[in-house]
Each structure stands twice: as structure tokens, then as C-alpha cells.
Structure 1
Amino acid sequence: MTGAAAAPRSHTSTGTTTSTTTGTSTTPGSSQGHSGLGDLLLNRMTTPAGYIGTTPTELIGRSRDLERLAAVTAAPDAGLVTVTGPAGVGKSRLVMEFFRHRGDGPGGGVEVFDFAQVTDTSVAGLMLRQLREQCYEGSPAVRKALERVAAGKHTLLFDHYEDVADDLAPLLAEFRRCCPQVRIVCVGTARLGLYGERVVRIGPLATGDPAPAVPAAPAANPAVELFVQCARSVRPEFALTAENAPDVLALCRQAGGLPLAIELAAAQITLAEPDLILERFENDPGDLHRPDHHPYSRHASIADMVAWVLARLRPEERTQLVHLAVFQGPFTMRAAVGVLDGLHGAAYRTMERLIDKSVLIPDEQHDGELRLSIPHALRRAAAGLLARLPVHTALRRAHAEHFRSAAAGAWAAGGRPGPGPEARADLLAAFEHWRQAGDGTAMAAIAHALYAQCASPAQSSVGLGAGAFAVEAGQCLRLAEEALRVLPADDHRLLARTLEAAGDLALRLASPAARDHLTRAYAAHRAAHDEQGALRCLTLLGEEAYAAGEPDRARRCFEEAHAAALPSAQSGTSAGSADSVATRRHLVRRLAAVLRDAGDLPRARELALAGLAEELGEPGGPGHGSGALLTRYVLATVRWREHDSAQARALFADAAEQIGTLSESAPERAECLELLAVTLNAWHRVTDWPALTATLALADHLRRRSGRARPKPLRDMVGPVLATAAQELTAEQFAGAVASGPAMTWHDALRLIPAAPPAPPPAPVPAAAAVPPPPAPSAVATALTKRELEVALLVAEGMTNRIIARELGIAEWTVVNHLRKVMRKLGCQSRVQVTRRLSST
């Protein structure tokens, strides 16, 4: 390798010196006349002067990746760091941003060797092999060059090295041995596999919630934010709106969060709207391309990127990748072994190489199991190749059998978790296979696994968003109903569970089919002698009747279910009895709520008090557990609707504050806000109509997130409140209050609860006509002081120590002392016994 070379150019940015080498070459093979290691390595290529410099756009969604890279490079043993990830994920852009802001600082330098500038990789490989041989021979020129580079605390950056990796790796190993103080950073899709190599894997951007509550604020969704940024670079007036946000989200998900694919899709915004781009992307993603040169990416289109990746795989690696494309989404090694017969020995090593080459993306789960995924564009191309192979039919059958077994096994085991939401696409593909095969049993098992995902609060309401939940729940309902049409009629247990799932989904979607499905499910459970299943269906039928505005039918269903749960709850002989106790207490709360909304407040209060007394008798102390909290909330709503008194307001405020600590999927949260607005309007206590309107808008938001529509009784009560609000406010004020509702905090809503008594106060009642309060039992009144009696009566009302202290104007610790004296004087051991003593004497 002889010839003159231009002197390296240095670029300084944020204290980091970057050397980029340019030059011309004559004949490779000689080592004379070289001024540095850059000339030795890159005599036939140039590095962009702006590799590390002013960035054209802001780096989005990579703060954690930058922190991980900083932590790894700061380690004392991080002499060789490889930043790897799938093609098109933005590795070079991320490393450039890292060195731009967090370089070695004053006195340090970063020398960049970008192999993407090489036009003939075979020549570059020859140069690397010759240099390695000279290192082994102890060439003085090479040694001198190495010593020059190692004179300071430098960093050598090698980018886009995939085509010369086999020749570069041993050279870097020798360089590390000679110059251990120099840090080497490599950027590419494949790790080098050298001893001591530290790997930082970069994955696609998160696509976030597929149906965000506030579409105009994409900052919480990095993939959407990147799309908007790229779209505005070619169409500055582009804005994310409620109309185009779903299409933009679908585009980002279709792109698999891959920045290259998102950028290519956003570049089409010049002539097409997001919905048209999405249609084009779904039909032929490889057709999307960029017309101009990109400084950090070698790929101009999705098709080029996929072809580039496939061309660098060995035959056995490509075959393995094509077979794995039978999975529609992420998969575990357990699933891969179950579907790909004979995945042993060499096949395991092939999968390891696919991981090393960023063709398989590993993701560690919370339970310690490794989950693998194929980049979306690459999987789609591999699936197209698989569809043309003879083995496709066998693999599809094995795939469907695996997910049928996983779904049926979780169902049979009861408590065993089934396939997670990441397996949804694979479950749908398996369902399609069994539909074509006409296997109703397998269809029902998979439909039930999909139902379990929709019914889970962590995965349905908050995890999916309102719109996506409705879509997925509706799809799951259709699949369950399709399975019912071909399900064997003699399998009562399977029939009952499928009907129950269909009924619950129909109830969540406010479908009129809910009653029919649940009625049939109840009968099927009874035929299968499954009393717990029949109890669940009765409870759901009560919810359906309540939602439909039929309080009498709801009351009958809840009372029948309560009577059915009582014997098993009292048995106390198994874990099932504990479930029955919880079910029975839930039924008491629901029955009290139904009676409350039907206007039977005395009966509702009686049930709520009895339920609270039982809840407070649980081990762990009074007030512990969600059951006691929910029952106290029902009692508080009843008491406040009975009387607009300071005591009732305090009880409701305390219960509402605790309800606000529950998850957004809890239906009581929305109901609490609705009853707050309804009661304030009924007592003529509304002083801030915009805040009240925003509170009801927040309740609507919570209901959409929970996937539960507002029951008819509450609709009938909330409707007049909204009508009054529309009259009290201008159209602009009303619309603004509704729009601000989802962003309202829980404490803002609770500020609506008035603390002062109504004004003007009612006229005083003459003493002769005054109705005295009901006298306390004489034995209790004689035994207790006036303050102790007040505390005992408030305890019997179900109030906590905090509320009692607030009502009586004393310290909470003083309440505790009074309550201890009450228990000692009355011979009681708990608050429950105090309540029973006051009500029985």
C-alpha cells in the first residue's frame, strides 16, 4: 500500500476531537509512507467530515440507550464496546449523538473509520489482512503507527464493519493487546465475538398505547414523535390530530417501531395523508424509499435493507430465519422448540448467531424467560419465503397445535397464566388454522385465551386504551361466537365457559347479546354441575340487568347469587370457600349499590352496614383490604344521598379519597365522580359548573379506559346534570370544560365537596316540635361518658378514626383512647362487636 495520503482533518465538537481521514491509493501491499493508522486502514475510503458534528434533527426516544452506553463505556474494563442492533434501528445516529455530547473531553480524540464509504469491500478486507500480518511480523511502520494513535487517551470508532468483520476482529484483538489504553467502539448489526467485548443492544422505538387518550400530545410515544418530526421536515404544516392519530399509530406499529421504516413512511407525507401511506405500507412496504442521501444510513428503502440483511446470512441461518417466520410475533425458546421439530445442537448455535447478527432480538422478561422477536420488515419478507416452501404446511400445523396446547393447558390448570398479550397475533393465526380444520374445541380454547387477555385489567383497559379495547374485545367476541357454532354440544363444561366468555365480552361492549349468552352459560354450568361457574353467571346477569336499567331483575339475580354463595362460604373447608366469601361480600356491595340507585336508601344502608361490619372483622385490623374500602364507599354514598350533613360529607370525602387510590380500571372510580356530581346537583350545592362538567368528563374518560359503559340508572341521573351544566355555561365554556376533564386530578374533583353547611340555614324548629335523636340504650348510656358515647355511635356508622376525629374536633389518638375505653366498658374486643352491641340493645 503505497501512495500519498492527505493529512487527517480534525473536527472539534463539545470538547471531542474527531479525526477523519481522506486520501488516494495506489497499490495495496506496501507499508511505507503512511502517516498514521487511519492511512493504513482507510487508504481507499473517506469518512464524512460531519460524522460527529452538528446534528440535523433531534434524537428521539433514546435517552435510556444513551445512559446505557455511557454506563458501559465508563466501566474500567470497557476496552472494546460494540453497539449492535437490527438494520435501520439508528445505531450510527445514536453513537454520533453520544460522542457529540459525552466524548472524552478536552485532550481526548475520537478517530472514525466508516466502512460504509468503501466501494470495494474485498480490497478493504485485503488491506486489513495485510495489516494484521504486519502486526504479527512486528513491522516497525505499523508499530510506530499504533504508538502514535495510542499516545493519548483516544477512542477508535469503527462503523458499518459487517462486510469486513472476519478480517477486522483479529486485528482489533491484536490492537487491544498492544494498546490497552485505547478504547474501541464498533457499530454494526453483528457483534465481533472477541474476548472481553461489551455489547450494547439497541432496539426499535416503543410504539406505545395504540389508542392514546390525548392524540395531540405524541411526546409519550417516541415512534409517533419521530414520525411527526420527519413529516414536518418535508411538510412543515403537518400536525397530529384526533383524525389522523390512529393511522399514524398504525403506521408506526406496522413499521415495528423501526426508525428507518418510520422515516421512509413519513417522507411520503408530501403527497399523501397517513391513511393512504398506511394502505401503501400494508400492501408493499418495500416500495417505500428515500430520494436523497442519508448521512448515517446506507439503506435507501425497506427492500434494500431486507435484501442486505438476507445476503449476509449463511444458508443455514437463512433457513432457520425463514422457519422462525411462522411466528407472528415475539416467541420464547420453549415455543421455538415446540414448533420447530429437531431444534437441537447445531440449530441452537445457528440461533445464537442470528442473535449476534441482530436478526433475532432478545428481550429478558420479568420471570427470567428470554423472548425473541424478528424485526417486522424482515419477518414479513421471511414469511413470504416460507409460504412458498413445502415445509410451510407442517410448520403451520405445529404452530397451531402449540398455541392450542398452551391455551387449553392454562384453561385446565385454572390458576396457570395463559399466553400473554404479545402472543395475540399467534393466537389469531392458530385460530384461523383450526377454523379451516373445523375443530371447534381448539377454537374455543384459543378464543378463551384471547378473552382472558381482554378481561385482565392490566391488559385491557389501561394497557390497551379505550378504542383498541373495543376493537380487540369485539374481535374476541366474534371468535367466541364462531367457536360456539361448531362446538360439540355434549361438552357442557367447554360450552359453558365459552358462553360465559362471550357473555362477559358482550356485557363490556354493551351488546344486547349479553343476556342470551349469560343465560345459556348459566344453564350449561348447571348441567356440568359447576356451581362456581353458575354463580359467576348469575352475578354477570345481575350486572347486565343493572346496566340495562332493570333494578328489580338485578336485585333478584344478586339475591339468588348471594343465597347460592352462602353455603360454600360458611363451610370454611377449602380455598374455594375463601373465594365464595369474597364473592358473597362483593354481591352484598352490588346489591346495596343497586338499591341505592333505585332509591331504596334505608335497605341499601342496612346492607352496607352489615357488609362493613363483616369486612372489619377480618384479620389485619379494621379498614384493611379493598373489600372494606369498597363497602365503606357504598355506605358513604348512601349516607350522603340520605342527608346533606357535615357527617355525611366527611364520610363521603374520606371514602372518595381512598377510591382515588385504586387503579383506573376500577369501575367505582367513575361511579364516585358521577355520584358526586349528581348529589351536589340534587342538594343545590353546585358552585363551580365548569369544574363539575370537567369532573363528569373525567368520569367518562375513566369509563372508556375501563371498558365499562355507564349503566342506565346512572345515565338517567347524570343526563339532567349535564343538561343543567349546558344551560349554565356558554357553548365555549362547556366544550372547554369537557376537553379539560381527562387531565383533571382526583383531588381537583374532591374540592367540589362543600365543607360549610348550606346557606341560608333552615329555620329553627321550636323546642316543643323538635324531634329528639333516638336515645341510646340505657345500659350503654349509663356505662359510657358523653364523649365515649359519641365515639361509639360514629363507630357504628362505619366511620374511620380519622373521620371521627374530624367530626368531633379532637385528635385521632384521642379517638383511639376513647374507643379502647368503650370496648373495655362494653366488654367488646373489636369495632364489629361495638356496632353489634349498639344495634342489639
Structure 2
Amino acid sequence: MSTGTVATTMEHEEALGLADLFAGRMTSPAGYIGATPTSLIGRTGDLDRLATALATPDAGLVTVTGPAGVGKSRLVMEYFRRFGPGPGATVEVFDFGQVTDTAVCALMLRQLKEQFHDGSTSVRSAVERLGPGRHTVLFDHYEDVADELAPLLTEFRRSCPQVRIVTVGTARLGLYGERVVRLRPLPTGNGVAAELSAVARIPAVELFVQCARSVRPEFKLTAENFRYVLAVCRLVGGLPFAIELAANQVKLAEPDLILERFERGAGDLQRIDRHPYSRHSSISDMVGWVFARLRADERLLLNQLAVFEGPFTTRAAAGVLTGFDAAGYRTMERLIDASVLIPDERPDGELSLSIPNSVRLAAARSLVLLPDHEALRKAHGEYFRALAAPRPPAEAGTGARPAAGPESRADLLAAFGYWRDAGDGRSMAVLADALRELSGGTAQTRQCLRLTEEVLRTGVEDARLHARTLESAGELAMRLGSGAARGYLAQARDAHRAVHDDAGVVRCLGLLGDEAYACGDLERARRRFEEGLAVIASPARAGGTGDAAVGAGRYLTRRLAVVLRETGNLARADELARTALAAELGREDFGGVVSARYVLASIRLLEQDTADTRALFADAAEQVGGLPDVAERPECLEMLAITLYKWRRITDWRLLTATLGLADRLRRRQGLARPRPLNELTTAILATASQELTADDYTWAWRSGADLSWEAAMRLMPAEEAKPAAGPEVPTDIADVLTKRELEVALLVAEGLTNRVIARKLGIAEWTVVNHLRKVMRKLGCQSRVQVTRRLATG
């Protein structure tokens, strides 16, 4: 509010009316809504939600709310800048954040109140002077006057229903009919691969780069600094205000130094220039402002909830906080209304809550001073130890106890720290094993290995848990390509044998086989896989093979087929792959079927280059591409390149290079090194590609692999029509029972082909294949595709 406006308000206090307030508003719409200094990033969905709310005919009161510093005013400003108030309409802005004298706010509210008390006639008259149209009155930064403003807005809506009211603040007013548009901090790319091209598209990172360029135009995201920029954005929780303050530091410091400063504490960072739509000048100023507006019970609960390092549920709050009762729930609701707790819905439908990171850090500092701090830490550690513990089979899938998910990782780490301080090796082991399941990428895997090794140094008295911890250490070391993997896994195998845990022995043998395969020792890999299969088939296990052992047997069979594929024993590899596929068919695990079909298809394509084998591989590869991050995805792309290179069928070297670049990106995202047998072959192919292409083309193609789609990579496969091939001999009784078309369908089913591929090969509709297969099963007395396969084999 300008000095002249304040003076005019003070001089005409008695005569000031509503129309005069409109005429002498605190901020002009042009000043509030005018040209924006930067583009709006990461708010397309929020802008659409605001537009939908304001477009509703009965939208008399719309409140845009969210944490301090999240960019509420900026969003509203962008909306009116893009769409305007409408034909013949106006926007009147009252920005209480621009008032430095509280007496002026009181005066304005008093004048409004007096006008309403004079009756609705004067109010309507004042509005009529504005002219016809969809008029909007916008109240921004109203938090300090919310109690006085709310009843006035109720009367205003009753007197002037044709006027739309938009309020912007951290707390919703709670009025009847109020429509709320709640903003959250910008996404920071949890789950996004830590690669330059992917990180550059994360909204929080985009905002950092934009703000950095405003003070240092030549700044750009590079392979050297993008991880530090991402870490800063995640450290501040994606809050735009904090990101802006951090980005402003690039004038003097590089992102790694900015990260170091923020890790030490960023409360001293100041905004130099006055911001057009923000009332805060520093993070400490913002945090102090938030806490000053909380009641004593709200501050206490917030400090206690700061024991959670990440998002938490009300179930978790009740499980950790002592005496959390109905009053606690009501206080939590007020914290949500004040945007101090940010609600979100998890995939399982349960409500998740989080505290803005800057506020949580301040609350955590206060938590340390509370007398029940250690009791809260212990309760937190016990809760997440129970969350991490393996669930009994009776509880699996019942929802009786939630399982730890990726959002729990920060709290699992905090709980691990508590039990480490307590010297409880068993609890540390349980938490480390849960973290292993949630660790993705090299950094998290390396951190989890350090924790697991710490558990082994501390010691675990439970022999079974000790064996499982050794196994976890070996698996993590293997992901990192560490030479320690083999030693850990060998110790784990012996430890499982000592407690007669055959399932654990088989798992370790499978991991030892994978480790040997990754190192290129195919003979040792073969022995380990065969040893695991022998344990499963041993007489001591006759009649007592559990589901876990059966599942391990399917995996070992498939992996053994891969090893034999690499040694060139394709006939035996084909036999094993067919066995693995037959064992997977009929199960609900679609991923197992897809993996087995892919292995069989890769063996067939290496064995002979025909249209049929290419069609089989193309179909299997298409299904592999639809699976989540599994080890078969990058290997499938590499085998595609290897087989086409073997049969001299590569015509597009750029696409081939990009496909191998995509495989490399997938491996790095999974934190998996390329096995030596595949590495040697792909290295030779890339060397040829570098000769076929210019240096610039080769570099461009390799880098473009990061953005290559799976469908585009599959275009490497030549498209040719399948040629009829002589079928295998069929038992006479089966040939007499089935028609020619039914026999064709049955033979292709025995090859492991899906209904879709069979339909394509035979030139018929897929539903026709289904009908033929049903007749085949009925005539042969079979209940599944597996039984059809066996019937054809045995006659």
C-alpha cells in the first residue's frame, strides 16, 4: 500500500465507503496481475484445477491455499494474466501482505464492516458503480485478519452474489460453500533416474535453473552439477521459495557449495530485492511467521510429529505419539487447514501427511528440547522396526499390518540410527533388510551395503537372521559389481546350511551363479545353478518342496538356460527354456512367463535366422518392454543387437547405437552392471558402429538412447512374412482327433507362442485361436496350455 493511499485512508476515515475502498485499493490489479518476471513451471495441473473451480457457476468463494512459499499468489496472478476476469468484468485486489501498518488493516476492515451494517442497499449500490460483468474481489495474504474478514465475506456474498471472491492464504477460511484449491511443493523426481536428461525435466530442477539464469544468464545444467542441483531441490522439499533463494546463490557459488551451505542450514539466506507477490525475505523469516500463527497445542504436536523424517499416516502418528487421542486428531486437522501438514493420498488409498521441509527442520530442533524426545525416538524406532519385519504368511495380503514402502525409506534410516545407538543388532538387521528391498540406483545400494556391513560388525545372535544378513550383503555387493559379493554369498550359503534352511541355500546358489555369470565365469555359473537344482530335487526334500523352492527352481532353470546359451550349447539351452516356460504357464505371475518366453526366443533366434524365430523374439521383446524395471529389459535390447549383428541383419546403425544406449541407461537406473559375456559382444558391436557412422552421428545416436522409446528400439527387427515350415512328427492318435487347423494351433502353443502371435502366423483372428484352443483341450482332455504341450510331447 502506497504512502499516499494510507494518508488518504486516514484523512477520509469517516466518509470512506466500499466504492472508495475499491477505488483506493491496496494493490492495483495491473500491479498485481501484470507482467510476470518468470514463466510458471510445474503448475499446469494446478492452473487447470483453479480454472475449473472458478468456471463453476456457483463458485462464489474460491480459496487457493498451501504452505508458505509454495507460490499461491503466483498461480492466481498467472491465471488472471492468462484468462483475465472476463468480458466487461473487473478484478479488485486487496493484498494485506503489502501493509506494514496494522492500523491500516484494522481501518479497512472496520470500514467494510460499517458498510455492511448500513445494509445491503449501500453494498449493492457500490458494486453497481463498477458496472455490469463478472466482477472478482481478490483478498491475498489475509492470514492476520482471517477472523475479522470471514464474517464480512459471508455478508458480502449474501449481499452481492454476483461478485466472485478469491482468497489466497495458508489457511482456508472454513466458510460454507468455499471451494479450495490446495497447492503442494513442486515434484522433486522421486523415482526418476539420476540422469541429466531425466533430471532436467523435473519441475523443481527446472525452476532452479530458471531462477539461476536470472542472476547468472550463462548458467546451465551439466553432467558435473545436475546431481547437486537435484540434491538441493530435494533437501528443501521442492518448495519454490527455498529453491529461488538457493538458485540466487549461483551468482557467487557453484551448486555443490550451495548444497553444502543448505545442509548446514539456510535460515540466513536473504532475498535482496522486494518481491512483487511474496511477503517473506528469508527462510528463517518464513518459518518464524508460520510458527507465530500456531496455537500452543498446535506447535507442540508439530514438534512431536517432526520425529518423522518423511511422509507419515495418521496410523503411524497414533502408533508413535503417546496419548494420541481425539483431541490430537482435531489438532492435526487444524494443522492441515493451516497448510502446515500437507495431505496426499497414497496408492493404497490411505492418507499420507508431510511437513514442509524447512518447517520440519525447525520443529525437529525444538523436538530435541522436549522432555519426551528420547521416548518419541524409541517409539518411532519400534514402530518402523515392526513395519520392516517380515509378515507371517497368515497376514500376507490381509492389510492387517501395512508394509514398508518407498515413502518410508527416510524413517527406516532414522529408526536404524536409533537401534544402532542402542546397540541392537537384531533390529538393525531387520531394518537393513527392509531398506535393501527399497534401495534403487547406485547411491542407495551403496548406502544400504554400508548399513548391512555395519550390522555384521555389530553382530546378530539369531543364526537365521545372521545368514539372511550375509545374503543381503552379498546381493547388494553384487549389484555394485564388488568383488566382496562372492565371499558374502559363500558365507551366507554355509550359514543357511548350518540352520538347515534349504530355501536359503538355493537362493545363495542362484546368486552365486549370477555373480559368476556377471564375471564371465560360465563354467562356475553352470555348476552353481545345477547345484541349486540338485538341492531342490534331493531325496531329503521329496514330498516337502515348498512354493519358495519351486519358484527358485523355475528361476534356476531359466538362468541355466541363459548360461548354456552363452556357451553355445543351444540344444540343451532350448530344452531348459522350454521346461522353464512350461513350469511358468498357468501361474498368475505374468512376469515369469514373459521372462521365460524371452529366454526361449533369444535361444531360437541365435540358433537360426528365420522369419518365425524373429517373430517369436519380437513378440517376447514387446512383452518384456511392458514389465517394470527387471533385469531382462536391458538384456533383451542387447540380445536383439547381438543376434541381428550375428546374422548381418543390421541396416540402421544409428538406431542400433541408440538402442544399446537405451540398454545402458536402463542398466544404470537399475544399478546393474552388464555381465562380461554380453559386455564383450556389445563392445564389439559398438566398435563396428563407430566405424559405420561419423563421430558426430555416433555420439548423437548414443546420447539419444536416453530418450528412445521401447517401441522405437523394436524397429531394429526386420519385418518379414513368416514362411511355412515343416512341422514335427505328431502322434497318430492326436493327428486323427484334431482337425488340421486345431493341430496347427496346438503345435504353436507347444512352441510357447501367445494367442496373438499364433493368430498373426496363421492369418486368423485372435478369438478364433481361442476357440480352436478350447476344442483342442476338450478333445485331448487337457485343462491348460502346459498339459497340451506335454500331451503333444508324449503322445
Structures share fold, TM-score greater than 0.5: yes
> What is aligned with 1:764?
none
2:706 to 742, 756, 771: 742
1:604 to 573, 576, 584: 573
Which amino acid is the alignment partner of residue 247 of structure 1?
A: Y
Which amino acid is the alignment partner of residue 433 of structure 1?
A: Y
Whether contact under 8 Å (1:633, 1:656) holds in the other structure is yes
Change in CA separation of 1:685 and 1:147 when aligned onto 2, cut-off 3 Å: closer
Task: Return the offset for 1:57.
Answer: 1.9
Whether contact under 8 Å (1:566, 1:580) holds in the other structure is no
Which amino acid is the alignment partner of residue 627 of structure 1?
A: G
> What is aligned with 2:387?
406
2:451 to 479, 487, 493: 479
Whether contact under 8 Å (1:568, 1:580) holds in the other structure is no
2:617 to 644, 652, 667: 652
User: How far apart in 1 are the matches of 2:89 and 2:740?
Assistant: 81
Change in CA separation of 1:159 and 1:530 when aligned onto 2, cut-off 3 Å: same
User: How far apart in 1 are the matches of 2:494 and 2:707?
Assistant: 45
Whether contact under 8 Å (1:451, 1:501) holds in the other structure is yes
> What is aligned with 2:435?
450
> What is aligned with 2:645?
681
1:75 to 29, 53, 56: 56
> What is aligned with 1:170?
151
* Residue 202, structure 1, aligned to residue 183, structure 2: yes
Which amino acid is the alignment partner of residue 503 of structure 1?
A: G
Change in CA separation of 1:210 and 1:272 when aligned onto 2, cut-off 3 Å: farther
Change in CA separation of 1:631 and 1:348 when aligned onto 2, cut-off 3 Å: closer
Unaligned runs of 5+ in 1: 7-20, 455-459, 461-468, 758-771
Q: Secondary structure in 1 aligned to 2:348?
A: coil
> What is aligned with 2:487?
516
User: How far apart in 1 are the matches of 2:784 and 2:105?
Assistant: 84
* Residue 436, structure 1, aligned to residue 421, structure 2: yes
Whether contact under 8 Å (1:230, 1:266) holds in the other structure is yes
Change in CA separation of 1:782 and 1:385 when aligned onto 2, cut-off 3 Å: closer
Which amino acid is the alignment partner of residue 598 of structure 2?
A: Y
- List aligned pairs for 1:119-130, cutoff 5 A: 119-129=100-110
Task: Return the offset for 1:608.
Answer: 2.0
- List aligned pairs for 1:580-659, cutoff 5 A: 580-616=549-585, 618=586, 625-659=590-624
Whether contact under 8 Å (1:562, 1:584) holds in the other structure is yes
Whether contact under 8 Å (2:29, 2:91) holds in the other structure is no
Task: Return the offset for 1:712.
Answer: 2.1
User: How far apart in 2 are the matches of 1:399 and 1:787?
Assistant: 65
Change in CA separation of 1:672 and 1:161 when aligned onto 2, cut-off 3 Å: same
User: How far apart in 2 are the matches of 1:341 and 1:781?
Assistant: 74
Which deviations, in whole Å up to 9, do the C-alpha atoms of 1:413-455 show, x marking residues without a partner?
666553222222222222222212211112112212211212x
> What is aligned with 2:19?
36
Residues 393-402 or 372-381, more deviating: 393-402
Which amino acid is the alignment partner of residue 426 of structure 1?
A: D
Which amino acid is the alignment partner of residue 697 of structure 2?
A: Q
Which amino acid is the alignment partner of residue 82 of structure 1?
A: T
User: How far apart in 2 are the matches of 1:580 and 1:407?
Assistant: 24
Q: Secondary structure in 2 aligned to 1:649?
A: helix
Which deviations, in whole Å up to 9, do the C-alpha atoms of 1:698-729 show, x marking residues without a partner?
22122222222212222233232233333443
- List aligned pairs for 1:213-232, cutoff 5 A: 214-216=195-197, 220-232=201-213
Residues 211-220 or 347-356, more deviating: 211-220
Change in CA separation of 1:502 and 1:127 when aligned onto 2, cut-off 3 Å: same
> What is aligned with 1:768?
none
Change in CA separation of 1:662 and 1:23 when aligned onto 2, cut-off 3 Å: same
> What is aligned with 1:56?
37
Q: Secondary structure in 1 aligned to 2:238?
A: coil
User: How far apart in 1 are the matches of 2:635 and 2:613?
Assistant: 18
Task: Return the offset for 1:793.
Answer: 5.6
Whether contact under 8 Å (2:387, 2:402) holds in the other structure is no
Whether contact under 8 Å (1:84, 1:91) holds in the other structure is yes
Task: Return the offset for 1:119.
Answer: 2.1
- List aligned pairs for 1:90-169, cutoff 5 A: 90-129=71-110, 131-132=112-113, 135-136=116-117, 138=119, 144-145=125-126, 148=129, 152-169=133-150
Whether contact under 8 Å (1:444, 1:487) holds in the other structure is no
Task: Return the offset for 1:282.
Answer: 2.0
User: How far apart in 2 are the matches of 1:499 and 1:786?
Assistant: 57
Task: Return the offset for 1:134.
Answer: 5.5
User: How far apart in 2 are the matches of 1:311 and 1:63?
Assistant: 32
User: How far apart in 2 are the matches of 1:827 and 1:217?
Assistant: 53
User: How far apart in 2 are the matches of 1:806 and 1:347?
Assistant: 63
Residues 799-808 or 414-423, more deviating: 799-808
User: How far apart in 2 are the matches of 1:250 and 1:38?
Assistant: 47
Residues 710-719 or 250-259, more deviating: 710-719
Task: Return the offset for 1:217.
Answer: 6.2
Residues 802-811 or 316-325, more deviating: 802-811
> What is aligned with 1:26?
10
Change in CA separation of 1:644 and 1:37 when aligned onto 2, cut-off 3 Å: same
Whether contact under 8 Å (1:569, 1:584) holds in the other structure is no
User: How far apart in 2 are the matches of 1:22 and 1:47?
Assistant: 14
Q: Secondary structure in 2 aligned to 1:286?
A: coil
User: How far apart in 1 are the matches of 2:738 and 2:318?
Assistant: 74
User: How far apart in 2 are the matches of 1:810 and 1:198?
Assistant: 55
Whether contact under 8 Å (2:194, 2:227) holds in the other structure is no
Residues 315-324 or 133-142, more deviating: 133-142
Change in CA separation of 1:569 and 1:299 when aligned onto 2, cut-off 3 Å: farther
Which deviations, in whole Å up to 9, do the C-alpha atoms of 1:85-140 show, x marking residues without a partner?
11111111111111223344112221111112222124422542464256346497
Which deviations, in whole Å up to 9, do the C-alpha atoms of 1:200-253 show, x marking residues without a partner?
211111111476465246663111111111112222222111211111111111
Change in CA separation of 1:178 and 1:151 when aligned onto 2, cut-off 3 Å: farther
> What is aligned with 1:561?
532
Which amino acid is the alignment partner of residue 473 of structure 1?
A: T
1:424 to 394, 397, 409: 409
- List aligned pairs for 1:455-534, cutoff 5 A: 460=440, 469-489=441-461, 491-534=462-505
Whether contact under 8 Å (1:227, 1:262) holds in the other structure is yes
Change in CA separation of 1:417 and 1:584 when aligned onto 2, cut-off 3 Å: farther
Unaligned runs of 5+ in 2: none
Task: Return the offset for 1:779.
Answer: 7.3
User: How far apart in 1 are the matches of 2:652 and 2:753?
Assistant: 28
| Identical-residue share of aligned pairs (%) | 63
Change in CA separation of 1:526 and 1:279 when aligned onto 2, cut-off 3 Å: same
User: How far apart in 1 are the matches of 2:348 and 2:737?
Assistant: 59
Which amino acid is the alignment partner of residue 349 of structure 1?
A: R
Which amino acid is the alignment partner of residue 710 of structure 1?
A: R
Q: Secondary structure in 2 aligned to 1:82?
A: strand
User: How far apart in 2 are the matches of 1:820 and 1:132?
Assistant: 79
Whether contact under 8 Å (2:316, 2:383) holds in the other structure is yes
Change in CA separation of 1:309 and 1:788 when aligned onto 2, cut-off 3 Å: closer
Whether contact under 8 Å (1:150, 1:181) holds in the other structure is no
Residues 292-301 or 428-437, more deviating: 428-437
Which amino acid is the alignment partner of residue 714 of structure 1?
A: L
Which deviations, in whole Å up to 9, do the C-alpha atoms of 1:69-91 show, x marking residues without a partner?
22223334432222111111111
Whether contact under 8 Å (2:475, 2:511) holds in the other structure is yes
Q: Secondary structure in 1 aligned to 2:180?
A: strand
> What is aligned with 1:15?
none
Which amino acid is the alignment partner of residue 486 of structure 1?
A: T
TM-score, normalised to structure 1, is 0.84
User: How far apart in 2 are the matches of 1:232 and 1:604?
Assistant: 57
User: How far apart in 1 are the matches of 2:392 and 2:497?
Assistant: 19
Count of residues in Structure 1 that have an aligned counterpart in Structure 2: 786
Task: Return the offset for 1:839.
Answer: 4.2
Change in CA separation of 1:795 and 1:305 when aligned onto 2, cut-off 3 Å: closer
User: How far apart in 2 are the matches of 1:780 and 1:403?
Assistant: 59
Whether contact under 8 Å (2:429, 2:460) holds in the other structure is no
Which amino acid is the alignment partner of residue 699 of structure 1?
A: A
Task: Return the offset for 1:479.
Answer: 0.6
